[in-house]
């Protein structure tokens, strides 16, 4: 029997418009699957970026040895900054001021005007030396906090789950039974500080009735390893101090959150798997009503592999369109969206990894979803296919 080559490319394109309602439903279903995958991958990427961009390679954190990775549980003597300054020649100086930032850091209830019960937030008491050490922090509105004033990170509203207008410059919030005026806003360029509230260290110590510190952040001279500070902490065992480079600290936090990241990847895999099965059901419905058409194509000389290739083209076109649509929606609606978690908040990152992962799942749904039903229908004998009733 005379056999023809592959079907024209536009045949697959025209077939998508022969049943517009079914095509639209299939497109929407694949778009939802791809969008979910992109959002889940974006969540993981956002957490990873938040931790990765938080560490300054020239900053060393000195905190309590018993606190492990939880700086909120750290408590060190108020004299620690002076001891470090007196004994460390590797600490940088700027215009006569030593680059050492003593800080008090804890989680507490922050009550805004639009939330009666308040929400759990993170507050950090700092001194005027903090801008020298925390170099990624930039004031975006207002000014540095004065007495009984606070400065708000750009993700604090998401962390507290409150209206951003309640944290406008000039408004007041209640922390530890005391009203604080908002003096300004700041950003840490995607770092962990974005979800924090900053205030003057003496004001926070007075409010909490504490004289100790949580940590001391030291800015080292260029190309200086933290060896000297580490040796000092190990020699002064009476102080029970531990020194760690800031990038190493946040890298260890990534290890701490590894189960969460694996869980997110597992959820992405389950969504992709369910999407493939949904694609199978959709493509079965799309192909089952075309048995007579496919049999007719075989009867006029088109090979089964040519017809199968045309069906895969249809599925691939639908998947590509759905992936583009999902990528546009994910970028416009979810990129940069704030996500709350225990230690603060971070922004979703719909980056290249999220886009590629979602598009890969989309093509998997479109192509592999079309393959089994198409193969099954094409195995129907031509004579029976021509008599098939729709």
Of the pLDDT bands very low, low, confident and very high (cuts 50, 70, 90), residue 197 is very high
Strand partners, 61: 217, 244
**Residue 328: band (very low, low, confident or very high) from pLDDT cuts 50, 70, 90:** very high
Distance CA 128, CA 213 (A): 16
| DSSP β-ladder status, 172-175 and 178-187 | antiparallel
176: left (phi over 0), alpha (psi -120 to 50) or beta: left
Using alpha carbons, list the distances in angstroms from residue 5 to 8, 12, 54, 297, 310. Answer: 9, 15, 59, 11, 11
Q: Is the pLDDT higher at 155 or at 275? A: 155
Model pLDDT for residues 147-177, shown as the tens digit of each residue: 999 999 998 888 888 888 889 999 999 998 8
Give dist(CA 279, CA 277) in Å, integer: 5
Closest CA to 128 of 164, 167, 100: 100
Residue for token digits 């080292």? Answer: 220
Per-residue pLDDT, 198: 96
- In terms of Cβ atoms closer than 10 Å to its own Cβ (0-12, 13-18, 19+), residue 332 is exposed
Residue 66's pLDDT band (cuts 50, 70, 90):
confident
User: Among 122, 134, 130, which residue's Cα sits nearest to residue 158?
Assistant: 122
8-state DSSP, 368? I
User: What would the pLDDT profile of 110-139 be if each residue is shown by its tens digit?
Assistant: 988 876 667 888 899 999 999 999 998 999
Per-residue confidence band for 7, with pLDDT thresholds at 50, 70 and 90? low
Tokens of 266: 């597992």
pLDDT the model gives residue 12: 63
Residue 3 has pLDDT above 50, yes or no: no
Provide DSSP, 182-218. Answer: EEEEEE-TTSGGGGEEEEEHHHHHHHHT---BSEEEE
Looking at residue 8, its pLDDT comes to: 65
Residue 275 has pLDDT above 90, yes or no: no
Of residues 357 and 283, more confidently modeled = 357
Do residues 340 and 48 touch, judged by C-beta distance below 8 A?
no
Beta strands in 83-170 (DSSP E): 93-94, 97-98, 100-111, 119-126, 138-142, 149-153
pLDDT in tens, 90-114: 899 888 889 999 999 998 889 888 7
Percent of residues, the chain, with pLDDT higher than 90: 29
Residue 104 CB: number of other CB atoms within 10 A?
23
CB-CB contact of 125 with 200 (8 Å)? yes
What's the confidence (pLDDT) of residue 349?
Answer: 85
Confidence label for 63 from pLDDT (cuts 50, 70 and 90): very high
Q: What distance in Å separates the CA atoms of residue 292 and residue 388, rounded to the nearest whole number?
A: 6
Residue 200, pLDDT score: 96
Band (69; pLDDT cuts 50, 70, 90): confident
- Residue 1: pLDDT band (50, 70, 90) is very low
* pTM tops 0.85: no
């Amino acid at each position: 029997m005379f056999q023809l080559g592959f079907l024209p490319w536009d045949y697959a394109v025209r077939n998508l418009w022969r049943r517009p309602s079914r095509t639209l439903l299939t497109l929407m279903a694949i778009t939802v699957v791809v969008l979910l995958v992109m959002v889940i991958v974006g969540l993981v990427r956002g957490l990873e970026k938040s931790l990765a961009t938080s560490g300054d390679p020239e900053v060393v954190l000195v905190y309590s040895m018993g606190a492990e990775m939880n700086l909120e549980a750290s408590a060190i003597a108020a004299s620690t900054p002076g001891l470090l300054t007196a004994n460390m020649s590797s600490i940088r100086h700027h215009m006569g001021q030593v680059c050492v930032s003593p800080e008090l850091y804890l989680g507490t209830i922050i009550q805004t005007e639009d939330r009666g019960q308040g929400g759990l937030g993170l507050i950090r008491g700092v001194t005027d030396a903090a801008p020298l050490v925390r170099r990624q922090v930039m004031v975006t509105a207002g000014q540095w906090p004065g007495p009984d004033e606070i400065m708000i990170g750009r993700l604090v509203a998401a962390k507290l789950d409150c209206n951003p207008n309640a944290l406008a410059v000039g408004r007041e919030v209640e922390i530890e039974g005391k009203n604080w005026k908002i003096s300004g806003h700041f950003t840490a360029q995607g770092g962990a500080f974005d979800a924090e509230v900053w205030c003057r260290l003496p004001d926070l110590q007075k409010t909490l009735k504490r004289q100790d510190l949580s940590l001391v952040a030291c800015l080292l001279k260029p190309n200086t390893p933290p060896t000297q500070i580490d040796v000092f902490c190990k020699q002064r065992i009476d102080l029970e101090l531990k020194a760690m480079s800031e990038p190493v600290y946040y890298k260890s936090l990534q290890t701490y959150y590894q189960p969460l990241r694996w869980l997110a990847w597992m959820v992405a895999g389950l969504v992709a798997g369910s999407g493939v099965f949904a694609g199978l059901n959709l493509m079965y419905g799309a192909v089952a009503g075309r048995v007579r058409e496919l049999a007719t194509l075989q009867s006029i000389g088109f090979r089964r592999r040519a017809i199968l290739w045309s069906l895969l083209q249809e599925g691939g076109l639908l998947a590509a369109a759905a992936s583009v649509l999902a990528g546009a929606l994910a970028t416009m609606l979810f990129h940069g969206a704030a996500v709350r978690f225990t230690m603060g908040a971070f922004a979703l990152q719909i980056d290249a990894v999220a886009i590629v992962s979602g598009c890969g799942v989309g093509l998997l749904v479109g192509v592999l979803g079309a393959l089994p039903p198409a193969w099954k229908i094409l195995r129907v004998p031509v004579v029976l296919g021509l008599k098939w009733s729709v």
